[in-house]
Homo-oligomer: A and B are copies of this chain.
């Protein structure tokens, strides 16, 4: 069994937003030289997400509006978590969008379907954060 690990760093300039990381993940796969196996890609922080969806700016603004409806940021005082913090909403948004994706690898390529793109989702940005990439296989 072979294994590969890499950490990708982000410092998103706004509180919330989405970064397409599919191309970087493909580079990781090439570097790993693994042809059959599984890739785990997860946010290493609890106010961020890694998820798979569409790279379409209209949808991303819909997500922003929708997550603000389901778990509004403000007023900060509505959440017990927000004493020293102001990011309780970010912890909730990350539960809806998810922490991780697992992607299959066959013949040295990801098994992705149509329009599938992998995103880093930031819900409490303007600071250094990491995504973990771990690949195991042969």
Contact = CB atoms under 8 A, between A and B. Distances in A.
B66 A111 contact: no
Interface in A24-67: 36-38, 40, 42-46, 51-54, 56-59, 61-63, 66
A35 to B, nearest CB: 9
A59 B91 contact: yes
Given A62-B79, A62-B81, A95 B53 contact: yes
- Give this chain's copy count: 3
Interface in A52-100: 52-54, 56-59, 61-63, 66, 70-71, 79-83, 88, 91-92, 94-100
A137 interface: yes
Contacts of A92: 62-63, 66
Contacts of A115: 45-46
Contact of A136 (B36, B46, B82, B112): B36
Contact of A138 (B1, B54, B62, B82): B1
Nearest to A61: B80
A113 B130 contact: yes
